[in-house]
Amino acid sequence: MLSRRREDPLQDRVYAFYKQKNRDKGLYSEMWMPFVTQVCMVRDNYYIVLIFSIIYSMFLCFNHVRILVMYYGGIFDALAVRCFQADIGGPKNNLQFSWTSQMYAKLFCGDSDNKQHFSELVDTAIVHADRWRDTRVYALFRNEWGMSAVCVYTIQDIDDVFRTSPFAPDDEMNRSRECVLDSTKISSEILRNIEKTSEMKEWVRPEGDSGPILFNHRNYTHIYIDSSQHNRSHTVMFLSLDNGAIHKVMQSENHSFIIAEYRPFNHGAHTLGVILQPSSKKLYVYSRSQLVQLDVANCAQYGNTCQECVLSRDPFCGWNGTHCIPQTNTTRQDVAGGNHAICASLPNSHRPEKVFRHPTKAPRPQENVTSITLGSKYFLQCPVSSRHAEYRWMWGRKNVTFCSSREEQCLLLIDNMGPEQEGTYKCVSDEMGYSKVLSQYQLRVESSAVGRLSSPVVWICLMVVLIKNLSC
């Protein structure tokens, strides 16, 4: 990532992130360690090549502010790299083919109070700002327990550590931290200090010294941030799972909320990358064999009521009075809290016809009248549409069973059908005070008399046909 300082172009930086196996072989040591490193930026018209011999990696920095990191051997720390403008190495007798401006510091992601630490860096996403200091780095981590977390760092925080932190392990080391016009003119004493160590003693901590903005018992593999949102009070993240699914996540100041889950591939596949086209809200997901386009502003999927649209808390969507549509200046939405009470303030002419007068009720589905053979088993099915709702089956006014929102269907088994099982069964979802009947069945016992009477009638018909054939 390039960080250009308009007020002083000489101090332009290039930052990169990677991970490295922990050199500490202690029993309780983390397997991976995260870092951030810097080098004065060497720029030409098309690309910058930075070769870090000490980590056996290559970073390609392009004009569209992208960094490709090629890992060799798979043993790296999580680092942020900073590149200085005129760093062409030291003089012939000292660090001639080495970076004189490289410094690196560890990245911390976790919760110190709860002893949670995420040390394996998986992926990063950049959200650029008008002021270079406000540019944010969203870093995806995981730990050895298979849990994932996202921490956010600002370039200001990273730069502060590089400018002010003592070097490790020598607190008294004196060396320049600024870019110079000609790195071959650096004094021999400073070059000797550079050769000793480039690691900072202090760790780079998340913005505001906060914990992870997302903590999940999922194995995420990639992260992409929608940086086109005008409302900076929330951010939309796309996180790919190890089974190929994609989570759309809304992150506000206080918490994160999983809006939707997409399954772009027909079968489980490893996602190689995720890219969003901001203007069309089309998400492109690719694996080794497929490239899939997803419409992540398909607002109709949330339902046909104002309450369902608002409960989605999708910044891309809003209620226009009759439908859930892509967000505009006139649509209604409550991203922060999903407060569907705002639907009650809609003018009568703007309320959907199918919604009951009570603001927390939804239209009932068509009742299915089902006849079941006496003594047989039967499954009642109900779709799970929201992972944030609670689901239950009701028989009359009595709750029969509750379902987990993690399942694809909320099923109810009628184990032994009899007259005492007859009646109306409803599958109801409850989310933040909003109730909706998703499925409704009217069960009846199939009369066995019909079956017994039908058999003699069939035999009589067969006998009539047989007699006619013989008479011919």
pLDDT digits (tens, 9 = 90+) for 150-201: 999 999 999 999 999 988 876 677 777 888 887 888 888 888 888 888 889 9
**What confidence score (pLDDT) does residue 22 get?**
85
Mention every residue, 6+ apart, whose C-beta is less than 8 A from residue 311: 302, 338, 340, 386, 388, 431, 432, 434
**What confidence score (pLDDT) does residue 351 get?**
43
pLDDT at 1 over 80: no
**What confidence score (pLDDT) does residue 97 get?**
77
**Higher per-residue confidence, 11 vs 293:** 293
CA distance 59 to 94: 24
pLDDT digits (tens, 9 = 90+) for 409-426: 999 999 999 999 999 999
Taking CA 11 as the corner, what is the angle to CA 6 and CA 17, rounded to the nearest 5 degrees? 105
Q: What global pTM score does this model have?
A: 0.77
**Could you tell me the two tokens for 131?**
């002021």
Mention every residue, 6+ apart, whose C-beta is less than 8 A from residue 123: 139, 140, 221, 222, 223
| Domains of the chain as residue ranges with CATH | 2-217 (2.130.10.10), 299-350 (3.30.1680.10), 368-448 (2.60.40.10)
Tally of residues, the chain: 472
Mean pLDDT of all residues in 81-92: 61
CA distance 22 to 452: 78
H-run or E-run covering 380: strand 378-380
pLDDT digits (tens, 9 = 90+) for 369-383: 889 999 999 999 999
Percent of the chain whose predicted confidence (pLDDT) is above 70: 78
**What confidence score (pLDDT) does residue 54 get?**
34
CA distance 230 to 60: 31
* Three-class SS state of 231: coil
pLDDT at 233 over 90: no
Q: Are strands 32-40 and 82-84 parallel, antiparallel or unpaired?
A: parallel
- Alpha carbon 266 to its chain centroid, in Å, reads 20
